[in-house]
Structure 1
Amino acid sequence: MTNLRSFSVFSEEKDKIIDLSHISCPPPFLQRLYLAGCLENLPHWISSLQNLVRLFLKWSRLKEDPLVHLQGLPNLVHLELLQVYDGESLHFEAGGFPSLKLLGIDKLDELQSVTIDKGAMPCLEKLIIQRCKLLKKVPSGIEYLTNLKLLEFFDMPDELIMPLQPDGGEDHWKVAHVPAVYCSYWRGGGWDVYSLVHEGESFNSGTSAVRRLERNILWKV
């Protein structure tokens, strides 16, 4: 399968282990990879996928920071991580993810901190963080993402959101360069969406919420 461009593996249940150890030489031109299921470790060959553009990992429940093996992928543009990592911290190192434009982080239940070094993800345009209940501080170094155009938080702790408010929030300066910053909460069958950028549209303004009925689903094949 030398010319294979897309590869998807889904387990029947999210706690079932996907065993990819028998793949010793992955398709060299692979562009899209979708893995949904428990992984004991990331496939050792994943860091060699020089042509990979999109990577979706779901239910992996890894013990080791997966970024260590992913940040060197030169052409990766789209990365989504859903219940991928059981650790407490993620570290985006300088020079890592040189082409990444969209990053989604969803339901990393033990995650408490995210660190972004200066020079990491220089092309990132869209960052979505959702349902990480223990992440109570905005990612350290987010101010270095100078090309970021959209920052969205879904069902995140108030301790993270409140300091980002434009009317005196102590951490607002870290995201002031981002044209669109939103926090959303799923309530009563729909999303209440608040802007964290413009005056008069702060989190506390009862009239500022925009109602959106569809659920936020990043995971798409």
Structure 2
Amino acid sequence: MTELGKLTKLRRLGVIKLRREDGKSLCSSIENLRNLRALSLLSVEEDEILDLQHLFSPPPLLQRLYLTGRLETLPHWIPNLESLVRVHLKWSRLKSDPLESLQALPNLVHLELLQVYEGDTLCFRVGGFKKLKLLGIDKFDELRCVEVEVGALPRVEKLSIQRCKLLQKAPLGIEHLPKLKVLEFFDMPRELIQTLLSDDQGGDYWRVAHIPEVYSTYWRDGGWEVYSLDSFNDSSRPSPVIRSQELHTRWK
């Protein structure tokens, strides 16, 4: 970890099998890598903590950041990375809402979050994520409510929500996203899909009616089955529009 700091012209760095005790020396080395554009760090196992709080002067040109491992808190230096375009966080299991720190990143275009937050509510605040176009939320086990304030996510084009088993309603305020073109649900509760089909009081069809493509995808009988919202309306037994063993989501 110490020797890495001598690679001062390095532009891309990936380190796997990290342990908590590696954190201090790794952070010291990363501070010397002023030309770094992409950084990927992977813990040795899912519950191992990535200790990244010792980094006080992060690479100023960093554009892509991938952190896979448990985080006690979101690293304090991330909001200072004005060049960040893409952020992937996995297994973080944060107790506090990470959106508060991420929403002010001025050039962030693509954000993927998998098992990142253990709270029951996510709120996208007005003025936040001004350039974000691609957003993925996956396996937030306690998530019950997603709220989008008017003026938040003004440029988002694709939104994917996956395996959030307690979320039974569409994001509140999703109707205020004028540029949203694709909305995907992967392995989500049937109750949520039913609310999207209903235009009655309590239904959410009006929230998503402006979105050109709305899909619900499930893993069944060894393959992915993709259903459009229209297919649910057309038949009591809808047919998938796509069936495939390997599926590349439209937002990636």
TM-score w.r.t. structure 1 length? Answer: 0.93
CA gap of 1:92–1:36, structure 2 versus 1, over 3 A, is: same
Partner of 1:174: 207
User: Which of residues 216, 221, 239 is equivalent to 1:208?
Assistant: 239
Q: Deviations over 1:119-174 (max 9, x none)?
A: 00100000000000001111000001110000000010111111112776921110
Structure-2 separation of matches of 1:207 and 1:160: 16
> What residue in structure 2 maps to residue 149 of structure 1?
181
Residue in structure 1 matched with residue 10 of structure 2 by the alignment? none
Q: Report the CA distance between 1:3 and its aligned residue.
A: 1.5
Deviation at 1:37, TM superposition (A): 0.1
Partner of 2:220: 187
1:87-126 maps to which residues of 2 (within 5 A)? 87-126=119-158
SS in 1 for 2:117: coil
How many Å apart are 1:21 and its aligned residue? 1.1
Q: CA deviation at 1:201?
A: 4.6
Judging changes above 3 Å, is the alpha-carbon distance between structure 1 residues 181 and 171 closer, same or farther for their aligned structure 2 residues? Answer: same
Q: Is the 8 A contact 2:198 2:204 kept in 1?
A: no
The alpha-carbon distance between structure 1 residues 219 and 19, as it changes in their structure 2 partners (threshold 3 A), is farther
CA distance change for structure 1 residues 172 and 33 in 2, over 3 Å: closer, same or farther? same
Contact residue 194 and residue 203 of structure 1 kept, 8 A: no
Q: Describe the SS at the equivalent of 1:202.
A: helix
1:6 matched to 2:41? The reply is no
Pairing of 1:72-83 with structure 2 (within 5 A):
72-83=104-115
For the aligned residue pairs, the C-alpha RMSD in angstroms reads 2.0
Q: Secondary structure at the match of 2:195?
A: helix
AA at the equivalent of 1:112: R
- Higher mean C-alpha displacement, 81-90 vs 202-211: 202-211
Identical residues among aligned pairs (%): 61
Point out the structure with the larger helix share. Answer: 2
Aligned to 2:168: 136
Give unmatched runs, 5+ long, in structure 2: 1-32
Query: Is 1:37 matched with 2:69?
Result: yes
Letter in 2 for 1:41: T
Deviation at 1:204, TM superposition (A): 5.2
Between Structure 1 and Structure 2, how many residues are aligned? 218
Instruction: Please point out which of 94, 101, 121 is paired with 1:69.
Output: 101
The separation in 1 between residues aligned to 2:233 and 2:250, in whole angstroms, is 25
Whether the aligned pair in 1 keeps the contact of 2:227 and 2:238 (CA below 8 Å) is no
Contact 1:80 1:218 in 2 (8 A): no
The alpha carbon displacement at 1:193 in A equals 1.3
Between 1:107-116 and 1:200-209, the stretch displaced more is: 200-209
Shift of 1:83: 0.4
Structure 1: state its 5+ residue gaps: none
Report the TM-score when normalising by structure 2: 0.82
